[in-house]
């Protein structure tokens, strides 16, 4: 039996108030070693990034690991609101980062746009569902700013922007068409990247309960 929740903050409270975190881990603190995974290109990479972000106490990366539907569900929906709520939890439970040490036991149900993983943490099992999100985006550099700016949005499907033609002797031709993205004052010389893509994000979390 699965007990479902969409709120990562509710998930965190569920775990840390159940004696799941060790006394030793509290003093070890969040992981400070170089990042290993920071991509959402595949389900396995996405779940690794999600857990690593928790282990590192990186609230911004945790927030980025969540699907739009997850964010629109229970709990804080904005990045700043989420970060404030996460910091409040950290003040109360200093060992919250230990949730990121959960062991990925196996992959569960799979589909074209959904895949689930089973996690094990402190003797308890959880099922995390990941959903594929298609997107279009632009990245550009504005004079005077040190970091590039990204503009984009999620779309229902890339089918409207992507067409794969039948193979020929010269190979397979892929035709790409980007829809309009309005950016005020953008100069052609400032454009760094225009892309369409797919990424996997955490969409559900459920504890697996065994009925006795």
Q: What is the CATH number of the domain that holds 11?
A: 3.10.450
Q: Please tell me the pTM assigned to this model.
A: 0.73
Query: Within this chain, do residues 124 and 113 fall inside the same structural domain, yes or no?
Result: yes
- Centre a 10 Å sphere on the Cβ of residue 34 and count the other Cβ atoms it contains: 5
Query: Within this chain, do residues 29 and 80 fall inside the same structural domain, yes or no?
Result: yes
Round to whole Å and give the CA distance between 19 and 209.
17
Round to whole Å and give the CA distance between 93 and 163.
50
Query: Within this chain, do residues 128 and 143 fall inside the same structural domain, yes or no?
Result: no
Query: Within this chain, do residues 89 and 160 fall inside the same structural domain, yes or no?
Result: no
* Angle (nearest 5°) at CA 133 between 102 and 179: 155
pLDDT score recorded for residue 199:
94
Number of helices (H), then strands (E), belonging to the chain: the values are 6, 8
Query: Within this chain, do residues 22 and 126 fall inside the same structural domain, yes or no?
Result: yes
First-to-last C-alpha distance (Å) of the chain: 11
Query: Within this chain, do residues 157 and 75 fall inside the same structural domain, yes or no?
Result: no
Confirm if 135 and 69 have CB atoms less than 8 A apart: no
Place of tokens 């309005």: 182
pLDDT score recorded for residue 46:
93
- Of 119, 116, 129, the closest CA to residue 15 belongs to 119
Series of mean pLDDT values for 10-residue runs along the chain (212 residues): 50 52 48 70 91 85 86 69 76 67 74 87 82 90 86 84 78 74 78 88 81 59
Query: Within this chain, do residues 124 and 22 fall inside the same structural domain, yes or no?
Result: yes
Structural domain span for residue 65:
2-132+201-208
pLDDT score recorded for residue 37:
67
φ, ψ at 153 (rounded to 5°): -160, 160
Round to whole Å and give the CA distance between 63 and 50.
9
Query: Within this chain, do residues 108 and 14 fall inside the same structural domain, yes or no?
Result: yes
The pair of three-digit structure tokens given for residue 82, joined into one six-digit string:
């989420």
- Residues whose CB falls within 8 Å of the CB of residue 69, separated by 6 or more in sequence, listed in order: 6, 131, 203
Query: Within this chain, do residues 121 and 165 fall inside the same structural domain, yes or no?
Result: no
Query: Within this chain, do residues 102 and 139 fall inside the same structural domain, yes or no?
Result: no
Confirm if 124 and 21 have CB atoms less than 8 A apart: no
């Amino acid at each position: 039996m699965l007990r479902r929740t969409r709120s990562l903050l509710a998930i965190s409270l569920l775990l840390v108030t159940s004696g799941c975190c060790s006394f030793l881990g509290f003093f070890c603190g969040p992981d400070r070693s170089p990042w290993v995974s920071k991509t959402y290109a595949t389900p396995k990479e996405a779940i690794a990034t999600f857990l690593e972000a928790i282990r590192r106490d990186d609230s911004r990366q945790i927030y980025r690991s969540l699907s739009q539907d997850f964010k629109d569900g229970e709990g804080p929906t904005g990045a700043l609101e989420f970060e404030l709520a996460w910091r409040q939890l950290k003040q109360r439970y200093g060992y919250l980062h230990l949730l990121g040490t959960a062991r990925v036991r196996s992959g569960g149900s799979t589909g074209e746009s959904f895949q689930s993983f089973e996690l094990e943490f402190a003797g308890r099992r959880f099922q995390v569902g990941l959903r594929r999100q298609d997107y279009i985006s632009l990245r550009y550099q504005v004079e005077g700013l040190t970091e590039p700016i990204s503009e984009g949005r999620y779309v229902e499907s890339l089918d409207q922007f992507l067409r794969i033609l039948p193979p020929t002797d010269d190979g397979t031709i892929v035709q790409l068409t980007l829809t309009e993205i309005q950016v005020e004052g953008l100069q052609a010389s400032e454009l760094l990247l225009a892309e369409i893509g797919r990424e996997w994000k955490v969409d559900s979390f459920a504890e697996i309960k065994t009925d006795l």
